[in-house]
Amino acid sequence: MLREVYSGRVGTHEVCDASPYLKSAAKFHGEPTEDHCPVCRRENLTHVHYIYGDELKQAAGQARRKAELPVLAMTFREFQVYVVEVCRGCGWNHLVEQYLLGRDGIEQSTGTADAVGANAPAGSTGAGRTPTRARTRLRPGSGE
């Protein structure tokens, strides 16, 4: 998509379309990055972490600070995290990463308090597995 913007085939108004809710989430729950916006090149990007999962009930779809995720991962069996990069200046936004978190990814016998992601399908128990993260990194222009 960025190639289209840089070539002039797509206007910035078509890609700088962050909703007011997303901009607010970036302001109050976002994590600042050192990366500059690829569109306006004036502002640093902010990462917003959204959580989704059946067990979350009303909390599903909420933006959370990254520091809150380990506590949630110890509380819930499994949930999906979507990381969206947002430019608070021009409104550029793009899904950059998604991964699973939850206590299903922790070995039952270790008793560890570390919250890690689970590399397992929904509904699996996670018993006997080594803690791992299932991550998908998505970059602008990668075709994803």
Mean pLDDT, each 10-residue run in order, the chain (144 residues): 78 86 96 96 97 94 96 95 97 95 64 39 34 44 46
- Find all residues with CB under 8 Å of 124, minimum gap 6, and list them: 104, 118
For residue 120, the model assigns a pLDDT of 36
For the CA atoms of 40, 61, 101, 33, what is the dihedral angle to 10 degrees? Answer: 20
For residue 44, the model assigns a pLDDT of 97
Structure tokens, 50: 């959204």
For residue 5, the model assigns a pLDDT of 74
- Find all residues with CB under 8 Å of 9, minimum gap 6, and list them: none
Please name the helix (run of DSSP H) or strand (run of DSSP E) that holds residue 44, with its range, or none.
Answer: strand 44-52
Domain ranges in the chain?
17-137
Which pTM value belongs to this model? 0.71
For residue 15, the model assigns a pLDDT of 83
